[in-house]
């Protein structure tokens, strides 16, 4: 067996500092029982040599990796143009940076990739736990990961009553508030362009909005259209909606709202004078649309931060199992809802 010479490791650092590798290990890990002088000496050698512990060896010996995974299924549909995932990734990475933890990314588009990714995620020694963005109805991945004993935190409400830890925005409450708000502005012929219903967020937004209208004795009647993910879906839905002459429409996602605005313009109408709009996400920068969108805004950064914190708790065994956090949304009023035209909401 050939031995590489002088590889920088605990033993070597110990030799240079005149202590054993155990002591160096203690210094590296910030354990208390080390005399100040020894600690200083070891730290000096480490700084001088640029020594860094070997992550694999650490993981092997301690059974912890210092890595958390972020699992994003069906990436292609949304990651392209929806700023939500960009913001989420950014928020999570900020939090993992602060926690001194490395972030691994598991994206997949097809079922076949899902299987392969799954195997990699659950391979021991890769990650200590995962954050899963899975609000897709009927996705088995979540249950599988959880069953395999992998510490999990879900961003979004999981489609299952299994006791999973999750953090979600209040899609239901926020949409209901939007309904109340539009009703309060005096709109009578209120419509709904529904968000995709293949995920829990969409389902919750739809029911929240309908319930909110009912609270005020209103209903969408036939002023409801099924939407999708894209701007084009929003454009089509609004074009179809206009024949029913709504005076205000709740559009289930910001991206669809962009398309909806275009449909209104193409029909020779104006927003908010002819049709007012409130959307959901708060994720498109306001200046990108004309008029600027009034939107129920998700606290994405908070969701991201919470997810990381929750995951740490699940990993180290502290904290409730199956803790479920629903963060409040905020209705940010801009021009598209026509509030300025209707000064006194009743």
Partner DNA sequence: CTGAAAGCGCTAACAT
Partner DNA sequence: ATGTTAGCGCTTTCAG
Interface residues with DNA (CB under 7 A) are 1-4, 7, 9-11, 14, 18-23, 25-26, 28-29, 32-35, 37-39, 53-54, 57-58, 60-62, 124
User: Choosing among a second copy, DNA, none, which partner's interface includes residue 285 (Cβ < 5 to 8 Å by kind)?
Assistant: a second copy
Q: Which of 229, 267, 218, 273 is nearest to 251 (CA)?
A: 229
Do 85 and 73 meet the contact criterion of CB atoms below 8 Å apart? no
Nearer to DNA by Cβ, of 43 and 323: the residue is 43
DSSP 2: P
85 lies in the site for a second copy, by CB under 8 A: yes
Show the tokens assigned to 243.
């024949």
Alpha-carbon distance 163 to 2, whole Å?
52
Quick note: the x/- pattern for a second copy over 214-233, rule CB under 8 A, is ----------------xxx-
Alpha-carbon distance 173 to 159, whole Å?
18
> φ and ψ at 279, to 5 degrees?
-120, -175
343 lies in the site for a second copy, by CB under 8 A: no
DSSP 252: S
User: Choosing among a second copy, DNA, none, which partner's interface includes residue 166 (Cβ < 5 to 8 Å by kind)?
Assistant: none
What residues form DSSP beta bridges with 60? none
CB atoms within 10 A of CB 45: 20
Q: How far is the CB of 128 from DNA (least distance, A)?
A: 13
Nearer to a second copy by Cβ, of 128 and 247: the residue is 128
53 lies in the site for a second copy, by CB under 8 A: yes
Q: How far is the CB of 306 from a second copy (least distance, A)?
A: 18
Q: How far is the CB of 112 from a second copy (least distance, A)?
A: 10
Nearer to DNA by Cβ, of 59 and 165: the residue is 59
Candidates 175-183, 285-293, 309-317, 325-333: pick the segment binding a second copy (CB under 8 A).
Answer: 285-293
Nearer to a second copy by Cβ, of 124 and 345: the residue is 124
Nearer to DNA by Cβ, of 31 and 320: the residue is 31
Q: How far is the CB of 49 from DNA (least distance, A)?
A: 11
269 lies in the site for a second copy, by CB under 8 A: no
Nearer to DNA by Cβ, of 54 and 270: the residue is 54
Q: How far is the CB of 129 from DNA (least distance, A)?
A: 17
Alpha-carbon distance 50 to 48, whole Å?
6
Let me know how long the chain is.
346
124 CB-contact burial (10 Å; exposed 0-12 / middle 13-18 / buried 19+)? exposed
Under DSSP, is residue 324 helix (H, G, I), strand (E, B) or coil? Answer: strand
Do 311 and 129 meet the contact criterion of CB atoms below 8 Å apart? yes
267 lies in the site for a second copy, by CB under 8 A: no
Residue bearing tokens 């313009």: 265
Alpha-carbon distance 231 to 246, whole Å?
20
Q: How many residues contact a second copy, by CB under 8 A?
A: 57
100 lies in the site for a second copy, by CB under 8 A: yes
Q: How far is the CB of 120 from a second copy (least distance, A)?
A: 6
143 lies in the site for a second copy, by CB under 8 A: no
Alpha-carbon distance 33 to 327, whole Å?
42
């Amino acid at each position: 067996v050939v031995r590489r010479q002088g590889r920088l490791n605990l033993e070597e650092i110990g030799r240079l500092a005149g202590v054993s590798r155990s002591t160096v290990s203690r210094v590296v890990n910030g354990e208390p029982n080390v005399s100040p002088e020894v600690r200083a000496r070891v730290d000096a050698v480490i700084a001088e040599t640029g020594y860094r512990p070997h992550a694999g060896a650490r993981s092997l010996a301690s059974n912890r990796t210092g890595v958390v995974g972020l699992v994003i299924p069906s990436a292609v549909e949304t990651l392209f143009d929806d700023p939500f995932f960009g913001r989420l990734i950014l928020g999570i990475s900020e939090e993992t940076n602060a926690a001194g933890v490395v972030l691994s990314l598991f994206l997949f588009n097809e079922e076949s990739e899902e299987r392969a990714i799954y195997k990699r995620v659950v391979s021991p020694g890769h990650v200590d736990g995962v954050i899963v963005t899975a609000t897709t109805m009927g996705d088995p991945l979540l249950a599988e990961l959880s069953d395999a004993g992998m510490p999990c935190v879900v961003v979004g409400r999981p489609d299952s009553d299994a006791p999973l830890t999750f953090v979600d925005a209040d899609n239901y409450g926020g949409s209901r508030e939007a309904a109340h708000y539009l009703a309060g502005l005096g709109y009578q012929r209120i419509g709904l362009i529904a968000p995709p219903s293949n995920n829990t967020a969409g389902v919750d937004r739809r029911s929240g909005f309908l319930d909110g209208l009912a609270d005020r004795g209103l209903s969408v009647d036939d002023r409801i259209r099924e939407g999708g993910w894209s701007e084009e879906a929003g454009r089509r839905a609004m074009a179809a909606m206009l024949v029913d002459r709504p005076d205000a429409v709740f559009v289930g996602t910001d991206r669809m709202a962009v398309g909806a605005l275009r449909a209104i313009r193409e029909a020779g109408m104006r927003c908010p004078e002819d049709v007012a709009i409130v959307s959901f996400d708060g994720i498109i920068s306001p200046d990108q649309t004309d008029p600027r969108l009034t939107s129920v805004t998700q606290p994405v950064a908070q969701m991201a931060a919470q997810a990381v914190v929750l995951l740490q708790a699940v990993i180290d065994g502290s904290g409730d199992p199956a803790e479920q956090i629903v963060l409040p949304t905020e209705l940010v009023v801009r021009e598209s809802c026509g509030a300025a035209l209707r000064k006194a909401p009743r």
